[in-house]
Chain A
């Protein structure tokens, strides 16, 4: 990592032409990945990412540079190139030292996964792979992997602050491929956490997840095509939260709000959702996949209220965009690596639990779809149009869960769907994913209890739902 004198020199040099804020982001990351396919170690890797990002701000202008060469010569050259984009006199006084800001570690990692013998990790992966492969002959591939990312970051800025954090993200991934009579079905599960080995060894039941993965790939292999049309959809807890992430979360990020490019720009205090909907983004949850003890510009993550009883109450705001908005930064600035300029991003985003049980929601639905799990989705923040694909779904008929259906896509508009959420369950859960946006691909939790959307367009190949 950089020594403090070099950091001081780079900041002082970079601020010589009028920048009003300068920041260095220094990163060293080591990633180990192991993959077991059909019960054999198929591949493993060790990779190292190392570099520095340098950010200069002046009012609402930002310039950013990054390099994998951490030498003094390279960093001073980068500072010189970037500072040339501003023309002016020095505004900041020269820094002479940094205050080390004490960061409260929110993660309780008794045994880091990086400290666990490789054999133990491989043995867990093989166990999961064999459970999936042995479940049914129609499963032709089981691919189970573990990735462990040890991420050391240091941030220095022209306010004289120095922040330091060591993180460890670990994720177990399970994918099965089943095949029968030319039909092929795949299923993915990917639990991840920052709590170290205990999460995989004690908190979650890896064997149960593997069995469920195998069961579901076979079930969906034999499923009928999903019906299409506008209908009520019950969306399962946990991964179902991807709907809120896509349909609403992205439009609440300052990246698009600050420029007035979001459908929810300038709408604070307005009713944007049904009154049964309250939602939060909380990057301070201990051990969770999307959390951070300190964000990627030195902000402290917190529980941010986004929607309260259907009323828009808050946005996700980073330091740079806070300059355009009449709002304070709230610990949400994130980036994939030193190559990316940080910006406002989600962490653990969820719809708060309501009162109904999952059974009550299903029972209240005469005819519709129960969408349990999703492959992901995407959204155009300027229009609010979104889509997401279901990986596991069922028909609901007369208040009961019926046959499985495959190939369902839900499409809609953010402004509409939030108003159409008419029931919220009491079973909040999270699902882990990687979110790709302006500052790269970062770990996030999506979350929600079971909810019902009273009408949404479902795309599928199975004809009318009345024929089911």
Chain B
């Protein structure tokens, strides 16, 4: 679609200002099972999303059908949805004005890598996992890579483009020891295939899986707990959804009215750094505004909310470049969250709590964690910590509490931070008070 002609046509139809986003993605994936390629997928798709101001209200439309009819489809959709819109939000299409920190993160090596090479690596992973231990009954390996392009243009002449490519290798093992069955899963993602270390990846998956065998039950009660990076990030992301100005303005956040107040432990400092050069890098948000690095919590004090143009205008502040389009609405998002490292290694955190638990994984987040209230009750996996060291694995148990209270009650923050697949870079953290339920 010709963007300029589209904006002219929209204007003729009474849409005073408009914006068009084109998202193109090409992805490739396959999976291996028992040495066989059991699935092999390629997908190319293009999506055109537009919004525009019609009779003083914002309207939206989206199509994957890039044909001569697409412009009319989008224009009609904008007119229909704008005419229904009764929101008091002021409709804003960004006129531009900020400077952008553009950086292209594309790996030529990844682009050049042949399918046969990708399959070979995964077959090697499968073999290594299968031969690692006789108790491994099943192995699955999954590979995917993706190339995407996002163009955002509007009738004020803004025209931004961002491209991105990355790959993900995931593997899971099922371990059978007598009647006992355990599984473990891990994934690696990155831009440069050269950085992937097969031996380390395989060792990690199997050792963690084997470590779950022969668990002991734990007595219900309150424990000091070290949370792994993965467990910290799961809970922290739920907490950060409360930093959204949209949630604040709709009275659905416990952080309402708490700006520049200490709401979490003074041991915790959290940043958002969208300009970090990893696969989550992005230089403009879904309104076309430049993204910016920021401190969210400084020693437990809430320093900012996440804003888009509309919510910022309501509060009389500048946008923070956190706009995200979710279907028919402009909302708020965040990415590349960094928790500032502390001084202690994970082993030192175990020493610090002396007796307690080490939580390696929490699951059931979509049902067991209410990010609005902060209450959680989640299935967990982990180990006893006895006399300052990690000891036996634990059988079926749940952890419960409130994320606001948990992050207010920190013993120490670890120094082992790592970028995780949910775009959070965090170390392990030791907490004072975790409630455990079990048999």
User: Is the C-beta of A299 less than 8 angstroms from some C-beta in chain B?
Assistant: no
Does A115 make an interface contact (CB < 8 A)?
A: no
With an 8 A cutoff between CB atoms, is B303 at the interface? no
Q: Which of B41, B81, B378 contacts A64 (CB 8 A)?
A: B41
Instruction: Evaluate whether A33 and B396 lie within 8 angstroms (CB atoms) in the complex, with A63-B40, A389-B364 already known.
Output: no
CA distance in complex: A78, B40 (Å) = 13
Q: Render A373-392 as a binary contact track against B, CB cut-off 8 A, 1 for contact.
A: 01111101011111111000
Is B150 an interface position by the 8 A CB rule?
A: no
Q: How far in angstroms is the closest Cβ of chain A from B400? A: 5
Secondary structure call for the B interface: strand
**Does the CB pair B437–A68 fall under 8 Å?**
no
Contact yes or no, A40 B396, CB < 8 A: no
Provide the B221-242 mask, 1 if CB < 8 A to any CB of A, else 0: 0000000000000000000000
Q: How far is the CA of A225 from the CA of B34 in the complex (A)?
A: 47
Alpha-carbon gap, A56 to B220, bound state (A) = 53
Interface set, chain A 134-176, CB cutoff 8 A to B: 140-141
Residues of A within 8 A of B368 (CB): 375, 387-389, 409, 459
**In contact, B181 and A46 (Cβ under 8 angstroms):** no
A88 CB–B CB distance under 8 Å: no
Across the interface, name the chain A residue whose C-beta is closest to B378.
A409
Segment of B11-19, B63-71, B304-312 in the binding face = B63-71
CB contact under 8 A between A387 and B363, given known A50-B65, A61-B38, A380-B183: yes
B52 at the interface (CB under 8 A from A): no
A387-B378, A457-B439 are known contacts. Are A376 and B329 too (CB-CB below 8 A)? no
Q: Using A60-B38, A68-B45 as known contacts, say yes or no to A185 and B363 having CB atoms under 8 A apart.
A: no
| Bound CA span A118–B42, Å | 38
Determine whether the beta carbon of A42 is less than 8 Å from that of B87. Answer: yes
B366 at the interface (CB under 8 A from A): yes
Say whether A50 contacts B84, CB under 8 Å: no
Smallest CB–CB gap between A10 and chain B, Å? 15
Find the A residue at minimum CB distance from B250: A141
Q: Is B438 an interface residue (CB 8 A)?
A: yes
A247 within 8 A of B: no
Cross-chain contact B86 with A41 (CB below 8 angstroms): yes
Give the Cβ gap from A68 to chain B, nearest Cβ, in Å.
Answer: 4
Nearest Cβ in chain B — how far from A340, in angstroms?
9
Which residues 11-50 of B have a CB within 8 angstroms of A? 33-34, 36-47
Q: Are A377 and B183 in contact (CB under 8 A)?
A: no
**For residues 160 through 179 of chain B, which have their beta carbon under 8 Å from a beta carbon of chain A?**
172, 174
Q: Which residues of A contact B80 (CB under 8 A)?
A: 44, 46, 118
Assess whether A41 is in contact with B377, with CB atoms less than 8 Å apart: no
**Complex Cα distance A388/B379, Å?**
9
Q: Which residue of A lies closest to B404 (CB)?
A: A182
Which residue of A48, A179, A339 contacts B63 across the interface (Cβ within 8 Å)?
Answer: A48
Write the A28-63 contact mask toward B (1 if CB under 8 angstroms, else 0). Answer: 100001110000111111111111000000001111
Measured CB to CB, the nearest residue on chain A to B42 is: A65
Which residues of chain A come closer than 8 Å to B329, judged between CB atoms? 35, 42-43
Main SS class of interface, A: strand
| A339 x B252 contact (CB < 8 A) | no
CB distance from B184 to the nearest CB of A (A): 10
A44 touches which one: B85, B372, B399 (CB < 8 A)? B85
A212 within 8 A of B: no
A45 in contact with B62 (CB, 8 Å)? yes
- Partner pick for A259 among B33, B46, B87, CB 8 A cutoff: B33
Among A68, A186, A382, point to the contact of B65 (Cβ < 8 A). A68
Within 8 A of B (CB), among A371-418: 374-378, 380, 382-389, 406-409, 411-413
How many whole Å from B330's CB to the nearest CB in chain A? 9
User: Are A140 and B62 also in contact (CB < 8 A) when A33-B328, A259-B138 are?
Assistant: no
Inter-chain contacts of B437 with A (CB < 8 A): 228-229, 457-460
Does chain A have a CB within 8 A of B128?
no
Contacts of A259 in B (CB 8 A): 33-34, 38, 138, 140
Known: A409-B378, A457-B398, A457-B438. A41 touches B85 (CB 8 A): yes
Looking at the complex, which one of A45, A50, A461 makes contact with B64 (CB distance below 8 Å)?
A50
Closest 9 CB pairs of A and B: A459-B398, A45-B328, A228-B437, A389-B367, A387-B364, A387-B379, A46-B77, A409-B377, A47-B62
